[in-house]
Amino acid sequence: MKRDIDIEQVSDGKRYTSNDMVRLGCDDCSGCSDCCRGMGSSILLDPYDAYRLMKGLGCSFDALLVGDTEVAKSPVIGLDLADGLILPHLQMTGETESCSFLNGEGRCGIHEIRPGFCRLFPLGRIYENGTFRYFHQIHECSKGGKTKVKISKWLGIPNLKQYEKFVLDWHDFLEEAGEEARQKKDADSMKQLGMGLLYVFYRKPYDMERDFYEQFYARLARVWDGQK
Protein backbone atom coordinates (compact mmCIF):
# COMPACT_ATOMS: atom_id res chain seq x y z
CA MET A 1 0.00 0.00 0.00
CA LYS A 2 1.37 3.40 -0.99
CA ARG A 3 1.74 5.90 1.84
CA ASP A 4 2.05 9.63 1.32
CA ILE A 5 4.49 10.49 4.11
CA ASP A 6 7.64 12.50 4.64
CA ILE A 7 10.04 9.73 5.58
CA GLU A 8 12.44 12.20 7.16
CA GLN A 9 9.77 13.18 9.69
CA VAL A 10 8.70 9.67 10.66
CA SER A 11 12.11 7.99 10.73
CA ASP A 12 15.65 8.55 12.00
CA GLY A 13 16.62 9.49 8.44
CA LYS A 14 18.57 6.28 7.81
CA ARG A 15 18.09 3.40 5.36
CA TYR A 16 18.88 -0.10 6.56
CA THR A 17 19.48 -3.57 5.15
CA SER A 18 18.61 -6.80 6.91
CA ASN A 19 22.21 -7.07 8.14
CA ASP A 20 22.08 -3.80 10.06
CA MET A 21 21.53 -3.34 13.78
CA VAL A 22 18.69 -1.00 14.82
CA ARG A 23 17.40 0.03 18.23
CA LEU A 24 14.08 -1.84 17.93
CA GLY A 25 13.89 -4.41 20.69
CA CYS A 26 11.81 -3.55 23.73
CA ASP A 27 13.37 -5.07 26.84
CA ASP A 28 10.37 -4.29 29.05
CA CYS A 29 7.52 -5.15 26.66
CA SER A 30 4.49 -6.12 28.69
CA GLY A 31 2.27 -6.80 25.71
CA CYS A 32 0.36 -3.50 25.53
CA SER A 33 -0.83 -4.65 22.07
CA ASP A 34 -1.29 -1.03 20.91
CA CYS A 35 0.20 -2.06 17.58
CA CYS A 36 -2.53 -4.70 17.21
CA ARG A 37 -5.46 -2.31 17.57
CA GLY A 38 -7.10 0.36 15.46
CA MET A 39 -5.20 -0.48 12.29
CA GLY A 40 -8.27 -0.48 10.03
CA SER A 41 -7.56 -2.29 6.78
CA SER A 42 -3.88 -1.31 6.66
CA ILE A 43 -2.37 -4.72 7.52
CA LEU A 44 -2.34 -6.08 3.99
CA LEU A 45 -1.54 -9.73 3.37
CA ASP A 46 0.71 -10.75 0.51
CA PRO A 47 0.50 -14.28 -0.97
CA TYR A 48 3.27 -15.54 1.34
CA ASP A 49 1.35 -14.29 4.39
CA ALA A 50 -1.79 -16.05 3.17
CA TYR A 51 0.13 -19.25 2.42
CA ARG A 52 1.62 -19.35 5.93
CA LEU A 53 -1.76 -18.66 7.56
CA MET A 54 -3.47 -21.38 5.53
CA LYS A 55 -0.71 -23.88 6.24
CA GLY A 56 -0.37 -23.00 9.92
CA LEU A 57 -4.12 -23.00 10.60
CA GLY A 58 -4.91 -25.91 8.29
CA CYS A 59 -7.64 -24.10 6.36
CA SER A 60 -8.41 -22.53 3.01
CA PHE A 61 -8.30 -18.86 2.11
CA ASP A 62 -12.09 -18.79 1.89
CA ALA A 63 -12.30 -20.22 5.42
CA LEU A 64 -10.27 -17.25 6.65
CA LEU A 65 -12.70 -14.94 4.87
CA VAL A 66 -15.82 -16.41 6.47
CA GLY A 67 -14.33 -17.40 9.81
CA ASP A 68 -14.51 -21.17 9.51
CA THR A 69 -11.25 -21.90 11.38
CA GLU A 70 -10.13 -23.49 14.62
CA VAL A 71 -9.10 -20.13 16.06
CA ALA A 72 -12.15 -18.09 15.06
CA LYS A 73 -15.73 -18.52 13.90
CA SER A 74 -15.94 -15.01 12.50
CA PRO A 75 -13.97 -13.53 9.57
CA VAL A 76 -10.30 -13.00 10.42
CA ILE A 77 -9.41 -11.36 7.13
CA GLY A 78 -11.31 -8.94 4.93
CA LEU A 79 -11.08 -7.63 1.38
CA ASP A 80 -10.67 -4.02 0.34
CA LEU A 81 -9.48 -1.87 -2.52
CA ALA A 82 -5.81 -0.95 -2.22
CA ASP A 83 -4.11 1.02 -4.99
CA GLY A 84 -6.77 -0.06 -7.49
CA LEU A 85 -6.67 -3.78 -6.63
CA ILE A 86 -8.66 -6.07 -4.34
CA LEU A 87 -6.31 -7.22 -1.58
CA PRO A 88 -6.84 -9.07 1.72
CA HIS A 89 -6.07 -7.58 5.10
CA LEU A 90 -6.26 -8.61 8.75
CA GLN A 91 -9.67 -7.87 10.20
CA MET A 92 -10.09 -5.58 13.21
CA THR A 93 -13.06 -6.39 15.46
CA GLY A 94 -14.97 -5.24 18.53
CA GLU A 95 -15.19 -1.91 20.30
CA THR A 96 -11.41 -1.74 20.66
CA GLU A 97 -10.87 -2.49 16.96
CA SER A 98 -8.51 -5.34 17.84
CA CYS A 99 -6.87 -7.76 15.45
CA SER A 100 -8.94 -10.92 15.14
CA PHE A 101 -5.93 -12.97 16.24
CA LEU A 102 -5.31 -11.02 19.45
CA ASN A 103 -6.07 -13.21 22.47
CA GLY A 104 -7.52 -12.28 25.84
CA GLU A 105 -4.08 -11.67 27.33
CA GLY A 106 -3.23 -9.12 24.65
CA ARG A 107 -0.89 -11.49 22.87
CA CYS A 108 -0.72 -12.61 19.25
CA GLY A 109 -2.45 -15.95 18.77
CA ILE A 110 -0.51 -16.65 15.56
CA HIS A 111 2.89 -15.24 16.49
CA GLU A 112 4.91 -17.90 14.67
CA ILE A 113 3.00 -17.32 11.42
CA ARG A 114 2.15 -13.62 11.80
CA PRO A 115 2.15 -11.55 8.58
CA GLY A 116 5.09 -9.61 7.24
CA PHE A 117 3.63 -6.22 8.22
CA CYS A 118 3.46 -7.38 11.83
CA ARG A 119 7.00 -8.72 11.74
CA LEU A 120 8.25 -5.41 10.36
CA PHE A 121 6.78 -3.17 13.05
CA PRO A 122 8.08 -0.60 13.86
CA LEU A 123 10.06 -0.85 10.64
CA GLY A 124 8.78 0.12 7.22
CA ARG A 125 10.05 -0.39 3.69
CA ILE A 126 10.97 2.31 1.20
CA TYR A 127 11.20 1.33 -2.46
CA GLU A 128 13.68 3.28 -4.56
CA ASN A 129 16.24 2.69 -7.31
CA GLY A 130 14.84 -0.74 -8.18
CA THR A 131 15.15 -2.17 -4.69
CA PHE A 132 14.00 -1.47 -1.14
CA ARG A 133 15.50 -0.60 2.20
CA TYR A 134 14.12 -0.67 5.72
CA PHE A 135 13.51 2.43 7.79
CA HIS A 136 12.69 2.84 11.48
CA GLN A 137 9.34 4.48 12.25
CA ILE A 138 10.56 6.16 15.41
CA HIS A 139 7.17 7.46 16.61
CA GLU A 140 5.19 4.22 16.25
CA CYS A 141 6.10 2.39 19.47
CA SER A 142 5.82 4.34 22.74
CA LYS A 143 7.55 1.72 24.91
CA GLY A 144 10.92 2.67 26.34
CA GLY A 145 14.05 0.68 27.03
CA LYS A 146 14.72 -0.27 23.42
CA THR A 147 17.77 -2.38 22.66
CA LYS A 148 19.63 -2.93 19.41
CA VAL A 149 18.76 -5.96 17.32
CA LYS A 150 19.76 -7.18 13.88
CA ILE A 151 16.91 -6.67 11.41
CA SER A 152 17.16 -10.22 10.04
CA LYS A 153 16.68 -11.56 13.57
CA TRP A 154 13.83 -9.14 14.23
CA LEU A 155 11.97 -10.35 11.12
CA GLY A 156 12.55 -14.01 11.89
CA ILE A 157 11.68 -15.15 8.37
CA PRO A 158 13.23 -18.33 6.89
CA ASN A 159 15.31 -17.89 3.72
CA LEU A 160 15.27 -14.12 4.13
CA LYS A 161 17.07 -13.29 0.88
CA GLN A 162 14.54 -15.31 -1.08
CA TYR A 163 11.74 -13.65 0.84
CA GLU A 164 13.14 -10.17 0.14
CA LYS A 165 13.31 -10.98 -3.58
CA PHE A 166 9.67 -12.07 -3.44
CA VAL A 167 8.70 -8.86 -1.59
CA LEU A 168 10.31 -6.74 -4.31
CA ASP A 169 8.83 -8.77 -7.17
CA TRP A 170 5.37 -8.66 -5.60
CA HIS A 171 5.65 -4.90 -5.08
CA ASP A 172 6.67 -4.36 -8.71
CA PHE A 173 3.85 -6.58 -9.93
CA LEU A 174 1.28 -4.71 -7.83
CA GLU A 175 2.56 -1.42 -9.22
CA GLU A 176 1.96 -2.54 -12.80
CA ALA A 177 -1.30 -4.38 -12.08
CA GLY A 178 -2.62 -1.42 -10.12
CA GLU A 179 -1.84 0.93 -12.97
CA GLU A 180 -3.62 -1.42 -15.38
CA ALA A 181 -6.65 -1.53 -13.07
CA ARG A 182 -6.82 2.25 -12.79
CA GLN A 183 -6.82 2.53 -16.58
CA LYS A 184 -9.92 0.37 -16.91
CA LYS A 185 -12.81 2.37 -18.35
CA ASP A 186 -15.51 0.96 -16.12
CA ALA A 187 -15.92 -0.42 -12.61
CA ASP A 188 -16.90 -3.91 -13.82
CA SER A 189 -13.67 -4.32 -15.79
CA MET A 190 -11.63 -3.15 -12.79
CA LYS A 191 -13.47 -5.55 -10.51
CA GLN A 192 -12.99 -8.43 -12.95
CA LEU A 193 -9.24 -7.84 -13.01
CA GLY A 194 -9.09 -7.54 -9.23
CA MET A 195 -11.09 -10.70 -8.60
CA GLY A 196 -9.03 -12.60 -11.16
CA LEU A 197 -5.76 -11.72 -9.44
CA LEU A 198 -7.29 -12.46 -6.05
CA TYR A 199 -8.13 -15.97 -7.25
CA VAL A 200 -4.76 -16.64 -8.86
CA PHE A 201 -2.60 -15.56 -5.92
CA TYR A 202 -4.85 -16.22 -2.91
CA ARG A 203 -8.00 -18.28 -3.42
CA LYS A 204 -6.55 -20.88 -5.78
CA PRO A 205 -5.29 -23.66 -3.45
CA TYR A 206 -1.57 -24.03 -2.85
CA ASP A 207 0.10 -27.38 -2.33
CA MET A 208 1.23 -27.07 1.28
CA GLU A 209 3.80 -29.80 0.82
CA ARG A 210 5.60 -27.85 -1.89
CA ASP A 211 7.77 -24.77 -1.76
CA PHE A 212 5.75 -21.55 -1.75
CA TYR A 213 8.10 -19.58 -3.96
CA GLU A 214 8.11 -22.18 -6.70
CA GLN A 215 4.31 -22.05 -6.85
CA PHE A 216 4.13 -18.26 -6.63
CA TYR A 217 6.55 -17.65 -9.49
CA ALA A 218 4.76 -20.22 -11.67
CA ARG A 219 1.52 -18.29 -11.13
CA LEU A 220 3.21 -14.96 -11.70
CA ALA A 221 4.65 -16.20 -15.01
CA ARG A 222 1.22 -17.38 -16.16
CA VAL A 223 -0.31 -14.01 -15.34
CA TRP A 224 2.42 -12.21 -17.25
CA ASP A 225 1.68 -14.51 -20.17
CA GLY A 226 -1.99 -13.59 -19.98
CA GLN A 227 -3.08 -16.97 -18.57
CA LYS A 228 -5.21 -17.42 -15.45
For every one of its 228 residues, what pLDDT tens digit does the chain have, with 9 covering 90 and above? 555 566 677 778 899 999 999 988 665 556 678 888 888 999 999 999 999 999 999 999 999 998 766 665 578 899 998 878 999 999 998 888 999 888 888 888 899 999 999 999 989 999 999 999 999 988 877 766 578 899 999 999 999 999 999 999 999 999 999 988 888 878 888 889 999 999 999 999 999 999 999 999 999 999 988 744
pLDDT confidence of residue 227:
47
pLDDT confidence of residue 61:
95
- Reduced 3-state DSSP string for the chain: CCCCCCHHHHECCCCECCCCEEEEEECCCCCCCHHHECCCCCCECCHHHHHHHHHHHCCCHHHHHHCCCCCCCCCCEEEEEECCEEEEEECEECCCCEECCECCCCCECCHHHCCHHHHHCCEEEEEECCEEEEEEECCCCCCCCEEEEEHHHHHCCCCHHHHHHHHHHHHHHHHHHHHHHHCCCCHHHHHHHHHHHHHHHHHCCCCCCCCHHHHHHHHHHHHHCCCC
Total-model pTM: 0.90
pLDDT confidence of residue 228:
46
